[in-house]
Amino acid sequence: MKKPAIIEDAILHVRDRLKGDSSGHDWRHVERVYRMALRINEVERGDELVVALAALLHDVSDYKLNGGDVEAGPREARAWLESQRLDAPRIAHIERIIATMSFKGAGVASKMDTLEGKIVQDADRLDAIGAIGIARAFAYGGKMGRDIYDPDIAPTMHRSFDSYRANQSSSINHFHEKLLLLKGLMNTATAKKLAEHRHCVMLEFLNEFDAEWKGNA
Ligand code: ADP
Ligand code: NI
């Protein structure tokens, strides 16, 4: 079936917007999230246009990469959707999904309240775990000048978004501070099932990393 024109336009817009990103927030990340969100939506049956557009626009301006502005992403998505004349309730919904999507620390609740939001959040979180999640964690860490691992710094279970975002610890710590928690935070049955295997892939990787680090493998 042919895609609606607004989806075709969103794809072109986001490809252009994320050109040159090397932090794991590139167009291919968005494309995977978009496809996964549509796949989950086949089972969950939310508003497909909202799911597709929220997935496509969710990383147009990430606070982690734009100097810390958490409002820029949802604001930029709204401006683009208004330029496309999407209806106001859908624009407000997509803006709210993008504002709520991000992980904010192990001890910080960030509950998505609509089905469409839950679907897109699951798709984004699935792309942060498993083999691709491992690749993205080290791409992001390298981009941000993080150590691969520093055994002198223990992982922290952040109790506030501010302490989570100020954190500078190693990419290996990021697995304990976020990535290994995502399996338990999935919203939909489809994502919960996929997360099981991806979680095991990360555990296996971390075991192997530890064994090699200690000279045991
Ligand atoms: P979220 O908005 O929930 O952070 P993203 O789509 O922005 O989700 O994806 C975050 C990606 O960035 C993940 O792949 C994650 O591994 C990586 N990342 C974020 N913070 C760190 C960090 N401190 N160390 C290593 N990787 C990180
Ligand atoms: Ni993302």
Q: Which carries the bigger pLDDT value, residue 134 or residue 167?
A: 134
Classify burial at 214, counting beta carbons within 10 Å of its beta carbon; exposed 0-12, middle 13-18, buried 19 or more.
exposed
Amino acid at 123: A
- Condensed to tens digits (0 to 9), the pLDDT of residues 17-70 reads 999 999 999 999 999 999 999 999 999 999 999 999 999 999 999 988 999 999
Task: Please give the pLDDT value at position 107.
Answer: 87
Ligand 1 pocket residue status of 105, Cβ below 6 Å? no
Residue 176: which residues within 8 A CB-CB, separation 6 or more? 155
- Condensed to tens digits (0 to 9), the pLDDT of residues 190-216 reads 999 999 999 999 999 999 999 999 999
CA of 212 to the centre of ligand 2 (A): 31
CA of 142 to the centre of ligand 1 (A): 12
Q: Which carries the bigger pLDDT value, residue 165 or residue 179?
A: 179
Question: Any idea which ligand is nearest the CA of 64?
Answer: 1
Contacts 24+ apart (CB under 8 A), 4-13: 4/49, 6/49, 6/53, 6/84, 6/86, 7/49, 7/52, 7/53, 7/56, 9/84, 10/52, 10/53, 10/56, 10/57, 10/80, 10/84, 11/56, 13/80
- Condensed to tens digits (0 to 9), the pLDDT of residues 93-133 reads 999 999 999 888 988 977 899 999 999 999 999 999 999 99
Ligand 1 pocket residue status of 137, Cβ below 6 Å? yes
Classify burial at 74, counting beta carbons within 10 Å of its beta carbon; exposed 0-12, middle 13-18, buried 19 or more.
buried
**Among protein residues, the one whose CA lies closest to atom 15 of ligand 1:** 137
Task: Please give the pLDDT value at position 208.
Answer: 98
Q: What's the pLDDT band for 2 if we cut at 50, 70, 90?
A: confident
Residue 2: which residues within 8 A CB-CB, separation 6 or more? none
Residue from 64, 101, 127, 164 whose mutation best tests the ligand 1 pocket (most atoms within 8 A of CB): 64
pTM of the model: 0.95
